Structure 1
């Protein structure tokens, strides 16, 4: 599975991505809104192996795209799309971009194309995304790709002895098709 945008190449995870994968999993800036616990090497190893196996399943319920900068071939991030409710064909999307590439529009560019894949190739009805209510950068990505805010779950995540909420945004297939 491959997707090409104006500046990016999205492809499935492969063995040679381990070092970059591990960097995203342990980067303090990437973890800032997700966890205050640094993952162990054993955890990262298992997660990487499990992630590699997803592409070999005959019935896919998860897609992991590594985001590569076309001009240089550098890995700059990843996007994950996974099924959360089969009965209504609802999926969730999430992304990580290495901090060296923040603020350059890569997350919305890649996310738009994965949403297009979800709606046009997979026939998904609804895609949602969640972010920590303090993570304004991720919230901006959701808005830029056309997602609509559906609400905030209050006090659902504890980081560094403080409670945070999660904003929920979603995009329906009909909204996507009408705007693209």
Structure 2
């Protein structure tokens, strides 16, 4: 079980009981505007939670999909994840999403910094990447605030809701 505490948050493994809180933001079209998933149906959210819970039992766990919960209330305000993209190249990726009612308060930056530290110190990777859609200025600001550098534009990077979409690539390396 993973639990990472920051000043205001606890990043922890998801529980089945988180389903309703996750569905509230994962079913919101505004939240999913820049993601390659959603808006979620109840079945989509149930599957997400089930997969996140099953991930914990993996004997060679290299993916950490975590609830972003407020400390001390435990209210789930978002989701964040870090996963190995290539073990042989010591490369990981991270991502995050914050519920609309909690956006603009620095939670993504706080969680992102904790995930970067975890990736470098615990997972032992050399490089962490993140992408966002070119129009997602809020995520680009968070990634820049984390010290990640914009490395370029990945043209037609993802197929999202039937359309090829570009991504902006950010990365940070262990220094």
Say whether the fold is shared (TM-score over 0.5).
Answer: yes
Q: Does 1:56 align with 2:57?
A: yes
Which residue of 1 is the match for residue 7 of structure 2?
A: 6
- Structure 1 range deviating more: 148-157 or 107-116: 148-157
C-alpha contact 2:128 2:173 (8 A) present in aligned 1: yes
Give the distance between the partners of 1:37 and 1:124, measured in 2 at CA. 29
C-alpha contact 1:134 1:164 (8 A) present in aligned 2: no
Structure 2 spans left out of the alignment, 5+ residues: none
Closer, same or farther: CA 146–16 of 1 in aligned 2, 3 Å: same
C-alpha contact 1:133 1:164 (8 A) present in aligned 2: no
Matches within 5 A, 1:1-180: 1-35=2-36, 38-157=39-158, 164-174=165-175
TM-score of the superposed pair, with normalisation by structure 1: 0.88
Q: Counting helix residues as a fraction of each chain, which structure ranks higher?
A: 1
How many pairs are equivalent?
Answer: 174
The alignment partner of 1:171 has SS state of strand
Give the distance between the partners of 2:148 and 2:120, measured in 1 at CA. 13
- Structure 1 range deviating more: 24-33 or 42-51: 42-51
Structure 1 spans left out of the alignment, 5+ residues: 175-180
How far apart are residue 3 of structure 1 and its match? 1.0
TM-score of the superposed pair, with normalisation by structure 2: 0.90
Q: Cα deviations across residues 56-94 of structure 1 (Å, max 9, x unaligned)?
A: 111012001111111432111111111111210111100
Closer, same or farther: CA 96–37 of 1 in aligned 2, 3 Å: closer
- Root-mean-square deviation (CA, aligned residues, Å) is 2.0
Give the distance between the partners of 2:48 and 2:30, measured in 1 at CA. 20
